[in-house]
Structure 1
Amino acid sequence: MKMEDSQRIEAPRETVWAALNDADVLKACIPGCEELVKHSDTEMEAKVLLKVGPVKAKFGGKVTLEDLIPPESYRIVGEGSGGVAGFAKGGAVVRLEEDGPDATILHYDVDAQIGGKIAQLGSRLIDSTSKRLAGEFFKTFGETVAPSQSEDEADEDQAEGKKGWLSGMFGKKDTAAEEDA
């Protein structure tokens, strides 16, 4: 299975790089991740619960980071086993490209092989599940690394005492009621 894509993240490249190397951030972003232990700057071990079609399995695996060029790129090499469900092994090249001073484009190119029960499900199901999981990871990763403008603005508005449209409507009613009194 091969998959490549990119995602724009509203954060400087150094911030994105640091997050890509932070076990706590990765654990929070990887769908189904139950445990992620960083043994060194280049070695991690994970336990992930995944459901691919009718097959649900807990995978344990090891990940190694190679060809590190901070804060530009690295290669992830890993393999995992889900017991009777099967195994997966492969790698990904991750590259970070600056997009102005406050944004980064994260490019990834994945090449993986699977075997066992999961491999029997068919490439369409596996490809769609892989794309969905990658999408979930990068959506969560982007939100974790760079909270959206609307969340920041909402926090600022709340701190300044501004109200949203719903509370604004109720606020007008209260104001009108006060004027009538």
Structure 2
Amino acid sequence: MKFDGEFELDDVPPEQAWVVLSDPIAVRDALKGCQFITPMDDDFEWDSYEPDEDVETLPEADADVVADRAFVAGQEYAALMQIGVGSVKPKFETTVTIEERDDENFEMTATGSGSASGSSFSMESGMRIHEREDADGSRIEWWTEADISGRIAQLGGRVINPVANKIVNNFFTAIESEMSDVEETDSGVTDRIRGMF
């Protein structure tokens, strides 16, 4: 299945959108049903991992701390996601690898796979952030190609597509709210973000 689209953020410059969308904590907080996104190593155990709660994101967090925990190309991440599709509400243990990260062009691609109680998926996805033509915000292009099997796949695209669209719309609405908070702050965070590039 293929999903793609665009999302525009008013008054949010691309470099700011990039920093927030590169922060695993901000992404986790904006993605409904996501319990954690964390770097994996060989010793990672799904059952015993306890995510940190109440981790600060921008504008409260230090911009350097946010930059230090940003997604890294080549790194594997563990993500625990619960998604409700019809009467099925599986909790997916998902492994995501950041394949490419281009700080200059604000572009990132990732691959991943996950499984949960009779369902599984693999995916390739990516995003690129552009400055809007009116230079008053950002335009985010995103795409995902997913291969879904098991109980969820049996529900078909008629059920899956609206759920996927709802997840994406809720995510970008939450991200836009977070970015607006950063833009409105007078703490100098925005200037520090711009200084990172």
- Shorter chain as denominator, the TM-score bin is 0.7 to 0.9
Q: For the Cα contact (< 8 Å) 1:76–1:91, is it kept in 2? A: yes
User: 1:14-163 alignment to 2 at 5 Å?
Assistant: 14-39=15-40, 41-42=72-73, 43-71=76-104, 72-84=106-118, 86-99=119-132, 101-147=135-181
- Structure 2 gaps of 5+ residues are 41-70, 185-197
C-alpha separation in 2, matches of 1:67 and 1:138: 21
1:7 matched to 2:21? The reply is no
TM-score normalised over the length of structure 2: 0.70
**Whole-Å Cα distance in 2 between the matches of residues 83 and 56 of structure 1?**
9
SS of residue matched to 1:52: coil
User: Counterpart of 2:8 in structure 1: which amino acid?
Assistant: R
Kept after mapping to 2: 8 A contact 1:23/1:38: no
- CA distance, structure 2, for counterparts of residue 44 and residue 21 of structure 1: 13
How far has the Cα of 1:132 moved from its partner? Answer: 1.0
State the Cα RMSD in Å.
2.0
Partner of 1:51: helix, strand, or coil?
Answer: coil
Return structure 1 stretches of 4+ with deviation > 3 angstroms: none
Q: In structure 1, what is the Cα distance between the partners aligned to 2:136 and 2:98?
A: 26
Structure number with higher helix proportion? 1
Larger radius of gyration: 1
SS in 1 for 2:29: helix
Cα offsets for 1:78-121 (capped at 9, x unmatched): 1111132x011111120110125551111011111100111111
| Aligned counterparts of 2:176 and 2:110: Cα–Cα separation in 1 | 19
Q: Give the drift of 1:148.
A: 10
- Which stretch shifts more, 140-149 or 45-54? 140-149
User: Which amino acid in structure 2 is aligned with residue 49 of structure 1?
Assistant: Q
Q: Verify the 8 A CA contact 1:19 1:25 in the aligned structure 2.
A: yes
Code of the residue aligned with 2:100 in structure 1: it is D
Shift of 1:16: 0.9
TM-score by length of 1: 0.76
**1:6 maps to amino acid:** E
1:170 is matched with: none
Aligned residue pairs total: 149
SS in structure 1 of the partner of residue 153 of structure 2: helix
Q: Percent identity?
A: 26
Q: Could you say which residue in structure 2 is the equivalent of 1:156?
A: none
Q: Which has the higher contact order (CA 8 A, sep 6+)?
A: 2
Letter in 2 for 1:24: I
Tell me how far 1:67 sits from its aligned partner. 2.4
| Deviation of the 1:38 alpha carbon | 3.1
Structure 1 alignment gaps of length 5 or more: 153-181
